[in-house]
Structure 1
Amino acid sequence: MGPAGEWARRLVADLQAYRAGMLPWLEIDRGAVLVGPPGTGKTSLARAVAASAGLPLVASSLQQWQGARDGHLGTLLGAMQATFTQARRAAPSILLIDEIDSFTARTELPAHHRDYSTQVVNGLLELLDGALSREGVVVLGTCNDATHLDPAILRPGRLERLLAVPLPDHAGLVALLRQAAAPLHFAPEEVEALAVAALGRRATGAAVELWARDARRRARAERRPLAVADFQAAIGPPPPPWPEDDLLRIALHEAGHAVVAAVLEPDLLGDTRLAREPAELGDEGVRGFVAWRLDDALAQPLVLTSPRLRRLLAIKLGGRAAEALALGEVSAGAGGGEGSDLALATATTARAVMMDGLGTPSRGHELVWLGRHGRREMIDALRSDPALWQVVAAELHVAHALALDTLAPHQTALQHLAQQLREKGRLSAEDVQRAIATPGRGGGERQTIPPASAAAGGALEE
């Protein structure tokens, strides 16, 4: 049972005690946000909590509230209030807000409808902990990605907790498959084989239900009892192994992040991991990552100076730099979606220039505060302002040069770590530090890295 399941179990026990008058409302969690990939059972978990505690479930979403009549702000807020009123009247109850990440962080709202959306978010916050008590109402939100969820929703007294509902592991898939095949009793080795195939396809609980329906349909069509072969046909053959060249490139990329971090900001470095086969993929399908506190440091470090910003950006671009240095070319691995290396580095640099006063007037952009911007607004500003785009691009080139300069003395260690990561799937921070300190691998005493390639243009002056 994962953290979300364990929390749900405790919540059910507390709610049962509350109903029996044995526990005051002050002792009950006010709510939580369940986050995970589609099909992992977030809504089902909320329903199970209500059913197990013997409580009514009231469900809605921002989309439903917006669909009430004309979608006018007053109508939307009225629909929200009506749902909370319904839950209060049914208390004790569970109120489910599906796709709660629709309540985007107010700092990221586009300017053209910021006033409307801000009032919508404020309306939800008022209902969660405003003047009207919601005693007896536990609010559960669900979403696939909480990255852009307004952080005020998670404050104590509101929804309080962010709980991951991940893809089922091997043991979870065994349990799901046994349940899906009931009342038949497959042999343990048969269920194990099915679970391995399902794990390779990163199966969700919803996928297992679909496969069970397909398996039963196949058996009915052939007018015979359900067999394990029907499940095997529904799941399909295991996915092919990934190309070795791709795995080695990804391992090199992640080792590059780790080496740059170990040299420039060693306190931020955690484990480095590589998914060597489909079954090892994480919930987001990421094939390699470094577990560090880097994103927190980029978001709000204690004191962000131009040199430290450059070091943090160099770490973010360290994977791309490792590919360029070791392979003579780069892949698209550093780019992609909003959570990619390049996206985060670009957004962070734009913030430094537009909001933190860390730009350089010599680059043709005045030292001026350009207002509070969310990530999307900053990217829109870059697209529409060539001068600003050039400043940010120059800063990123400087950070990339620093990453190259940092990796250059440690190329042997980089190759060694990439190979170790490919073989083991994991490197600890100590593994990385030991490799760069080992004589013959570019190690020895820790080197002091000079300002990143001043000849390339140092837009963030030290």
Structure 2
Amino acid sequence: MDMNENKRRRSMLLYILIAVVVYLAVSQTMYPALTNSQTKEVSYSDFLTMVDKNEVTQVQKTQGDAQLYFTTGSGDSQQKYSTVIFGTGDGLNEKLEDHGVQMVGKIADTSGDMWFYLLLSYGLPIVIFLLIGWWFNRRMKKAMGDDGPSMNFGGGGFGMGGGLGKSNVKEVKGEETGVTFKDVAGQDEAKESLQEIVSFLKKPDKYNEIGARCPRGALLVGPPGTGKTLMAKAVAGEAGVPFFQIAGSEFVEMFVGRGAAKVRDLFKQANEKAPCIVFIDEIDAVGKRRDSSLNSNDEREQTLNQLLSEMDGFDNHKGIVVLAATNRPESLDPALLRPGRFDRRIPVELPDLAGREAILKIHANDVKMEGSIDLSGIAKSTPGASGADLANIINEAALRAVRFGRNRVTQEDLAESVDVVIAGEKKKSTVLSEHEKEIVAYHETGHAIVAAMQKGSAPVSKITIVPRTSGALGFTMQVEEDEHFLTTRTEAKNKIAVLCGGRAAEELIFGEDEKTTGASNDIEKATGIARAMVTQYGMSDKFGMVALGQQRNRYLGGGSELTCSEGTAQEVDAEVRRLVEEGHQQALDTLRANRFKLHEIAHYLQKKETITGDEFMNILTRDDGFAPQMPKPQQ
């Protein structure tokens, strides 16, 4: 017996218990009235005594019957009695006349009371049972839908299991999605791959003539916020076909078999509305790799098996295309990824520079902006931003414009919104002391000078020592002039040196004992770069081209884990320390060679709190006897 059957039995017992409680409550209310209306039997001597006391009001007798019925009281206090007659020669009639008792020769019919008693004893429980069953059935159908098998008990139709296999999929007509490929930017390759599916859904005959078949499914893979769901809606909007959207987690139920029933219902609806698009968001919730571990989930595996069967079974000549989205493709079952199920794997990656600018333009069309807005500068200052991040930047800029009483977004609003998304809002409650502000100013200036002195490094665009809600007390922003897709070993080492520039400035100006906690994030990033150089990129002289680590959850920033022996791991740690310390020494040498510029820029930054990249470069390159100097190469 499975858990579903146990639940049905528990619900049945609950239903019976409710019926019994209602019956007892009704019978306790109605039975006293019935008891009062029934005849009470007394002795003949008691009857004569009651006549003598003038309590008897009426006597009823049927000829030939040895039973005598009489009544006392009137109205609500009326009570019927019966007694046995002992004889007729005792002057009973005269005695009744003397006491004014009414005598009738035919007694009232008491069969109605008997029928009422039978109805209360047997009919009422049945009626209550049927009524509660009808009510419970209605509630179950409202809660779980009107489809699915039912178990009926009695005429009330107590329905169990109604709608348990309904998929609850959300259906949207293609033209009602409100999204086409024009609304999607920065994903030209993904749109090109999906354009063929749109063409097949519009003109299937053109493909059938040559014998080509439409892909059964396409898997959209990429980081969060890159527009996978938006892309699926755009396909439906372009093709003008029904769009069924459901999340993978909605298939996973507590009871075995329920998720599989939902999969069957989903494809049944899709088959009726073909041609159409079925979109399963976050498919990794139901499509995880099957294994034999103890913590496996039978319900999820049955649901996955049903999904595999349905994708093999439907006739894709009708034009049913399954689109799915995930940011954990490495966790999916291989049987789900094979051709014939998901024929195409379409990467939806983070947009490049041109893509970011195109996305900003799309979202900027919905916001009133000044005519002199430069979106290319915003695109350059947001490397690694997803489409959702860029939409949020535009929205934050619009909110800031309203906050300051303007009816159009300015360039300043956009620049500030970039800072808000990167580091958070300005934290007004945090007031640094003059000494702390001086330390932060030297720290950020150290980053900036080390970055500016390196060949090929991204120029500094902004330096600030205003505390932010993310916990940062300041930051230095660098903006690449052009898009880079490869990183050389020298560039990786330079990045480590720039990250070490803040701590190096603190040590150089305030001494070893005045190191602060402000470099914690810099140290974390520098260590991450050095470890990747050693374990993933083969940039270590000691280990060469050997992969010592494996990346986890590429699209979710899961980092990497070592895949080497314990002894090698210790050597890896030593090599990572060497690379970080090498960058640290490079930063110290650069700042020693430009000590006077470090003082000048730090004092200027401490006074103004925020300076632009142009202001920084003007001071750094100004010929005042202390021109910027590159450190002497180590012997």
The aligned residue for residue 167 of structure 1 is 350
Change (3 A) 1:61 1:318: closer
Q: Distance in 2 between matches of 1:16 and 1:337?
A: 39
For 1:227, give the aligned amino acid: V
Residue 114 (structure 1) shift: 4.3
- 1:122 equivalenced with 2:305 (yes/no): yes
Residue 59 (structure 1) shift: 1.0
CA contact (8 A) 1:260 1:403 kept: no
Percent pairwise identity: 28
For 1:129, give the aligned amino acid: D
Q: Distance in 1 between matches of 2:548 and 2:394?
A: 43
Residue 72 (structure 1) shift: 2.3
The aligned residue for residue 244 of structure 1 is 499
Residue 402 (structure 1) shift: 8.6
Over residues 198-244 of structure 1, what are the superposed CA-to-partner deviations in whole Å (9 max), with x where a residue is unaligned?
Answer: x24x3222223233333333334444322223333322266635753
The aligned residue for residue 193 of structure 1 is 377
Over residues 75-111 of structure 1, what are the superposed CA-to-partner deviations in whole Å (9 max), with x where a residue is unaligned?
Answer: 2211111111111111111100111111344444642
Change (3 A) 1:189 1:62: closer
TM-score normalized by structure 2?
Answer: 0.40
Q: Distance in 2 between matches of 1:404 and 1:214?
A: 42
Q: Distance in 2 between matches of 1:215 and 1:318?
A: 40
Change (3 A) 1:182 1:100: same
- 1:230 equivalenced with 2:413 (yes/no): yes
Q: 545, 557, 561: which is aligned to 1:341?
A: 561
The aligned residue for residue 155 of structure 1 is 338
Q: Distance in 2 between matches of 1:337 and 1:207?
A: 16
- 1:214 equivalenced with 2:396 (yes/no): yes
Q: Distance in 2 between matches of 1:259 and 1:176?
A: 35
Change (3 A) 1:40 1:337: closer
Structure 2 counterpart SS, 1:28: coil
CA contact (8 A) 1:318 1:400 kept: no
Change (3 A) 1:251 1:234: closer
The aligned residue for residue 205 of structure 1 is 387
- 1:177 equivalenced with 2:360 (yes/no): yes
For 2:396, give the aligned amino acid: D
Structure 2: gaps (5+ residues): 1-186, 424-474, 477-494, 501-522, 587-635
- 1:256 equivalenced with 2:440 (yes/no): no
Change (3 A) 1:232 1:50: same
Q: Distance in 2 between matches of 1:338 and 1:248?
A: 17
Residue 115 (structure 1) shift: 3.5
For 2:566, give the aligned amino acid: H
Change (3 A) 1:215 1:128: same
For 1:253, give the aligned amino acid: R
For 1:209, give the aligned amino acid: A
Q: Distance in 1 between matches of 2:310 and 2:263?
A: 8
Residue 7 (structure 1) shift: 0.5
Q: Distance in 1 between matches of 2:389 and 2:229?
A: 15
Q: 28, 36, 54: which is aligned to 2:214?
A: 28
Change (3 A) 1:120 1:339: farther
CA contact (8 A) 1:98 1:142 kept: yes
Q: What root-mean-square deviation, in Å, do the aligned CA atoms of Structure 1 and Structure 2 show?
A: 3.9
Q: Distance in 2 between matches of 1:339 and 1:222?
A: 41
Which has the bigger relative contact order, CA under 8 A and spacing at least 6?
Answer: 1
For 1:138, give the aligned amino acid: V
Q: Distance in 2 between matches of 1:54 and 1:337?
A: 36
CA contact (8 A) 1:34 1:140 kept: yes
Structure 1: gaps (5+ residues): 270-311, 320-335, 346-394, 420-462
Change (3 A) 1:206 1:339: closer
- Structure with a larger share of its residues in helix: 1
The aligned residue for residue 397 of structure 1 is 566
Q: Distance in 1 between matches of 2:572 and 2:389?
A: 42
TM-score normalized by structure 1?
Answer: 0.54
Over residues 304-352 of structure 1, what are the superposed CA-to-partner deviations in whole Å (9 max), with x where a residue is unaligned?
Answer: xxxxxxxx7xx31599xxxxxxxxxxxxxxxx9866222xx2xxxxxxx
CA contact (8 A) 2:550 2:560 kept: no
Q: 12, 19, 31: which is aligned to 2:198?
A: 12
CA contact (8 A) 1:215 1:226 kept: no
Q: Distance in 1 between matches of 2:567 and 2:329?
A: 32
- How many equivalent residue pairs? 292
Change (3 A) 1:99 1:404: closer
Change (3 A) 1:259 1:42: closer
Structure 1 counterpart SS, 2:323: strand
Structure 2 counterpart SS, 1:236: helix
- 1:44 equivalenced with 2:226 (yes/no): no
Change (3 A) 1:244 1:402: closer
Alignment of 1:64-75 (within 5 A): 64-66=250-252, 71-75=254-258
Structure 2 counterpart SS, 1:212: helix
CA contact (8 A) 1:61 1:97 kept: yes
For 1:191, give the aligned amino acid: L
Over residues 395-437 of structure 1, what are the superposed CA-to-partner deviations in whole Å (9 max), with x where a residue is unaligned?
Answer: 82255479799x9xxx99xx89xx9xxxxxxxxxxxxxxxxxx
Change (3 A) 1:251 1:83: closer
The aligned residue for residue 263 of structure 2 is 80
